[in-house]
Amino acid sequence: MITEEQLEKLRGWFAGRVPEDLFTELVEVTADREEITVIGRIPEPRLAEGTADAERAAAAAGRIQEFRERTREARVAVAGEAEHRFGRKVSWGVECGGRRALFTHVAAPVMTRLRQPERQVLDTLIAAGVARSRSDALAWCVRLVQRHTDDWLTELRASLEHVQRVRAQGPDAEEVHGAPGADTDEG
């Protein structure tokens, strides 16, 4: 879990480090233990008024692909610095014309033990064609919980941040701050 202060430092670093002409706006920087995701807004293609939705969608997809190819070198350079500094992989994405596209990003494996009733839920999702595998079914369940419990998860994350702040004030504070992946001011 990353604290709000660590996330603010992360956002600030990216706001200062991402080349000014890369995005029209830095929309979002999020992080977990494995990955930092940076989302920026890019200009929409200029189209005539009354252009069909399908054409607009295709134009936005083309603009996103053009951006991805044209900016690869700059994004790789920033990602390399960030990965060294923060100890996490960096993934990129854009918003364009009301669409959001994520480029290559981390799909971290998660091991779990499930009892038969829980496995049966996953197998039902597979049989119904909602998911291709138990892994897909579990990811689908996580997205569903995330969508329907945002307020509860936000409150839980705030509570965890409070616990981390209290721990940092304890007798082992030096060990906590020196933990791997902790934000440092190293170059």
Q: What is the pLDDT of residues 133-181, one digit of tens each?
A: 999 999 999 988 888 887 787 888 888 888 888 888 888 766 544 444 4
Which distant-in-sequence residues (6+ apart) come within 8 Å of 1 by Cβ? 32, 33, 157, 160, 161, 164
Q: pLDDT value at position 187?
A: 43
In contact, 76 and 130? CB cutoff 8 Å: no
Q: What is the DSSP string of 133-159?
A: SHHHHHHHHHHHHHHH-HHHHHHHHHH
For range 111-134, the mean pLDDT: 90
Residues 6+ apart with CB under 8 A from 167: 173, 176
Task: Read off φ and ψ for residue 37, nearest 5 degrees.
Answer: -115, 125
Please give the helix or strand (H or E) that residue 81 lies within, else none: helix 72-86
What's the confidence (pLDDT) of residue 173? 65
**End-to-end Cα spacing for the chain:** 24
Give me the pLDDT at residue 134, please: 92
Which residues contact residue 24 at a Cβ distance below 8 angstroms, ignoring those fewer than 6 apart? 40, 41, 42, 43
According to the model, what pLDDT value does residue 186 have?
A: 43
